[in-house]
Amino acid sequence: MKTRKLGNNGLEVSAIGLGCMGMSFAYGPASDKKEMIKLIRSAVERGVTFFDTAEIYGPFTNEELVGEALAPYRDEVVIATKFGFDIKSGKEAGFDSRPEHIKQAVVGSLKRLKIETIDLLYQHRVDPNVPIEEVAGAVKELIQEGKVLHWGLSEAGVQTIRRAHKVLPLTAVQSEYSMWWRRPEEELLTTLEELGIGFVPFSPLGKGFLTGRFDKHSRFDSSDFRNVVPRFKPENLDANQVLVELIKKVAAEKNATSAQIALAWLLAQKPWIVPIPGTRKLDRLIENLGAADIELTHEELRDINSALSKINIAGDRYPEELEKRTGR
């Protein structure tokens, strides 16, 4: 597996990471823990060194899963987790990035992950009630205490990123980015390049849509997050098939799969981009990792981007109340 560096602080990770959220949370019932431990360890054996989780996934159960799975490989891997939500009675109860809460959250994460230091700690969402300078100051203290190595922000706006970076240099920013969600290209990517911050796209396969698995007849488990996502309404799934067909065409020309083309396209945007596709299946894991070996030429990228620019994506990526939590 090829490696990439996130930011200017020396954090080197596999070119493709593994997002672990879906194993426990958001996409239907949690999978069997033993099977997911086996899958995570299979990823390590195939060269993956970058694993993403958060206290809110479950809550807590995903960190426990990742901690148990990676315990034998602690010195070989980079574990990223997140703070920023108030969790009461096993449910998310709004934001909480007060410094004292951040420190409590980190103590819990360290215990569940079975580690002494968090490699990369993100603020999961910007808390409008706590100045980002206070958040950065709290994380700075945690770094000084040896509990955290690097820090980052998730779904933050560029002004917040700049303010945070002044207090404590950011290693990475995590946000959604894919062929069907390209808003980071408007100002986020240029800001990250200017400041020397790495970028970690989540949902790089459009929550599975870009693989070609879904159409207007697709239905999801009652506990699946996609039920509330406007883009997954039948009429929008149908309208957006034009994007799926474009990716399939490119995949056929490159003797690759649609998922591999979607990931290779992301990797080709910048050398400091590290996507974290999630999966519960070994064959999908192997398929996704194969994207690291696919190179899109300048001409191929130009043609793909030209075709993408002519496609109008139907449906919002989040319900309105969730979209309000991003880009602050």
Each residue of 136-156: b (16+ CB within 10 Å) or e?
Answer: bebbeebbeeebbbbbbbbbb
Placement of tokens 């159960």 in the chain: 61
Cis previous bond, 59, omega within 30:
yes
Q: How far is CA 316 from CA 75, 203, 327, in A?
A: 41, 14, 15
- Structure token pair of residue 237: 């799934």
- Which long-range contacts (C-beta less than 8 Å, at least 24 apart) are formed by 100-104? 102/135, 102/138, 102/139, 102/142, 103/138, 103/141, 103/142
CA distance 75 to 64: 18
Say how far apart CA 71 and CA 148 lie, in whole Å.
17
DSSP letters along 13-32, please? EESS-EE-GGGTSSBSSPPP
Structure tokens at 122: 């993100």
Asked about 177 being catalytic, the answer comes back as no
Catalytic residue among 57, 122, 177, 318: 57
CA distance 195 to 181: 23
CA dist 316 and 225 (Å) reads 14
Residues that are catalytic? 57
